[in-house]
């Protein structure tokens, strides 16, 4: 049992289960209902899709602060093309996702090949892309085509499609990371970049691919979010990067790289989502909610430092 609980994924899953049991006892009429739980999963679906890409980056020893802006820009660009130029939905989707790929490629190229610090580069890109989102979405775009809205608003088995897209993303990347040589290389890069380079791994190219994949997932999340809301706004995704990093660290990733599991991204997002849901049910002020989530971020970083010290001991 001790060995099992030393795995962050297992211990976090147990913690979430315990919190859900306590919340069900404290709020039996509100928390354990199908409507509340399905809404909880819907709310964290966007964060989880982005968190999968962030987990891959943190495994390789990097992170991306521009993902929230990419969410706003990809959905905003697709909506702009459909609303103002009557571009067909499939073409607008390709344009939105293509823009995310391009942003990821620029980030990856400048960081991997030009040597720019990831925090500086992605922080700058966060501002650039957020400005681009404001240009394409303005104060907001509504009255989008039916088939675009159906992507995020349709249901399967009574659950909205973003939840299924989230689960599909987690399953696909779990298989890829666990079963393919290509994705396993990111653990070597995060563990010891110099050794990985000397062993023949094309570290720079792998880093660039990681940013491209992370941006693509953020672009998909942006399309889903705009579709689900039936509108595109330049403010979408604001603060998402910090929520995602918190979730990924809680899920077992390390700021130093080399460790982490894709299911941990889902569990980390689920943990923060459950806490947020309970605070809403308990009618805790929004101001206190921000404070509590900030404390959780600090505790997540402290937990990461503690685990790192224990592993070196």
Q: Which helix (H) or strand (E) holds 160?
A: strand 159-160
pLDDT of residue 185: 94
- In this predicted structure, the answer to whether residue 223 has a pLDDT above a threshold of 70 is yes
pLDDT of residue 4: 61
Across residues 213-219, what is the average pLDDT?
A: 97
pLDDT of residue 308: 60
pLDDT of residue 35: 92
> Angle at the Cα of 155 (from 238 to 273), degrees rounded to 5?
40
pLDDT of residue 97: 96
Distance spanning both ends of the chain, measured CA to CA? 21
Minimal CA–CA distance to 15: which of 296, 309, 298? 296
Q: Using CB atoms within 10 A of its CB, is residue 13 exposed (0-12), middle (13-18) or buried (19+)?
A: middle
| Reported confidence tier of residue 228, pLDDT bands at 50, 70, 90 | very high
pLDDT tens digits, one per residue of 242-275: 889 989 988 888 888 888 999 999 999 999 899 8
Please list, in sequence order, all residues whose beta carbon lies within 8 angstroms of the beta carbon of residue 20, skipping any fewer than 6 positions away: 31, 32, 274
pLDDT tens digits, one per residue of 116-173: 999 999 999 999 999 999 999 988 899 899 999 999 999 998 899 999 999 999 999 9
pLDDT of residue 285: 81
Minimal CA–CA distance to 216: which of 69, 76, 99? 99
pLDDT of residue 13: 87
d(CA 69, CA 243): 13
- In this predicted structure, the answer to whether residue 16 has a pLDDT above a threshold of 60 is yes
pLDDT of residue 220: 96
Lowest mean pLDDT: which of 50-54, 216-220, 223-227, 305-309?
A: 305-309
In this structure, the number of other CB atoms found within 10 A of the CB of residue 304 comes to 19
Q: What is the mean pLDDT of the chain?
A: 90
- In this predicted structure, the answer to whether residue 307 has a pLDDT above a threshold of 70 is no
| Reported confidence tier of residue 286, pLDDT bands at 50, 70, 90 | confident
| Reported confidence tier of residue 291, pLDDT bands at 50, 70, 90 | confident
Phi, psi (deg, nearest 5) at residue 195: -65, -40
- In this predicted structure, the answer to whether residue 313 has a pLDDT above a threshold of 60 is no
- In this predicted structure, the answer to whether residue 312 has a pLDDT above a threshold of 60 is no
pLDDT of residue 287: 78
- In this predicted structure, the answer to whether residue 7 has a pLDDT above a threshold of 80 is no
Across residues 305-309, what is the average pLDDT?
A: 66
pTM exceeds 0.85 for this model? yes
- In this predicted structure, the answer to whether residue 36 has a pLDDT above a threshold of 80 is yes
| Reported confidence tier of residue 305, pLDDT bands at 50, 70, 90 | low
For residue 232, the SS3 value is strand
Minimal CA–CA distance to 228: which of 161, 152, 151, 166? 152
Q: Which helix (H) or strand (E) holds 156?
A: strand 155-156
pLDDT tens digits, one per residue of 75-96: 999 999 999 999 999 999 999 9
Lowest mean pLDDT: which of 38-42, 243-247, 291-295?
A: 291-295
Q: Where are the domains of the chain?
A: 6-23+30-312
pLDDT of residue 304: 62
The CATH class, in words, for 6-23+30-312 is mainly alpha
């Amino acid at each position: 049992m001790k060995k099992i609980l030393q795995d962050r994924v297992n211990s976090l899953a147990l913690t979430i289960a315990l919190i859900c049991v306590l919340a069900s006892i404290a709020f039996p009429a509100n928390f354990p209902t199908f409507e509340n739980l399905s809404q909880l999963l819907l709310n964290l679906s966007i964060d989880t899709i982005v968190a999968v890409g962030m987990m891959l980056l943190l495994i390789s020893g990097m992170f991306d602060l521009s993902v929230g802006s990419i969410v706003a820009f990809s959905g905003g660009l697709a909506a702009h093309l459909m609303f103002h130029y009557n571009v067909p939905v499939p073409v607008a989707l390709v344009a939105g996702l293509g823009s995310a790929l391009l942003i990821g490629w620029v980030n990856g190229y400048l960081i991997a090949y030009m040597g720019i610090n990831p925090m500086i580069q992605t922080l700058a890109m966060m501002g650039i892309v957020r400005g681009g989102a404001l240009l394409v979405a303005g104060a907001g775009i509504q009255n989008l085509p039916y088939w675009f809205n159906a992507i995020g608003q349709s249901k399967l088995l009574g659950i909205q499609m973003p939840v299924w897209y989230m689960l599909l993303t987690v399953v696909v990347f779990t298989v890829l990371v666990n079963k393919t040589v290509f994705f396993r290389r990111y653990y070597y890069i995060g563990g010891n970049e110099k050794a990985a380079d000397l062993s023949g791994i094309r570290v720079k190219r792998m880093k660039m691919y990681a940013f491209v994949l992370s941006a693509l997932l953020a672009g998909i999340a942006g399309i889903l979010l705009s579709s689900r809301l039936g509108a595109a706004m330049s403010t979408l995704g604001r603060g998402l990067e910090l929520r995602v990093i918190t979730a990924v660290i809680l899920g077992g990733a390390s700021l130093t790289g080399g460790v982490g599991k894709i299911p941990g991204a889902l569990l980390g997002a689920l943990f923060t989502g459950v806490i947020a849901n309970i605070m809403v049910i308990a009618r805790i002020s929004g101001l206190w909610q921000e404070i509590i989530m900030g404390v959780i971020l600090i505790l997540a970083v402290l937990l990461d430092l503690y685990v790192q010290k224990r592993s070196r001991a």
